[in-house]
Structure 1
């Protein structure tokens, strides 16, 4: 079942990125609706806070946890 709410994701929303190896909560930096991807801050290694990078991830791996304030 497709997550309709994720289709309305906007820059500034807080999302959970869920993969088989980890879960990251991050604000959305940018949205590419054509490719169904968002740009989020992502930890390469959760133990190394300084190793934070931005990554594009699929809508299919996201769950919106908080909409930004309008």
Structure 2
């Protein structure tokens, strides 16, 4: 008996796991990570926050894209 569970590629196929959407998601994740980090030192006007509030918004978008990528990767 073989109790080994099939891999994602075996379940979904190589065409699915190597689809262009995964490359695009990685590109967008990288973009929002860099954007979030690069604006961190700018002072937000109108608030007393120590860190730019937009940093939180962009890092949230990054996290959402990472979640989407993981969900798609798991099938």
Does the pair score TM above 0.5? Answer: no
More helix by share: 2
* Superposition TM-score tier, normalisation by shorter sequence: under 0.3
Q: Please say which structure displays the higher CA radius of gyration.
A: 2
TM-score (norm 2): 0.21
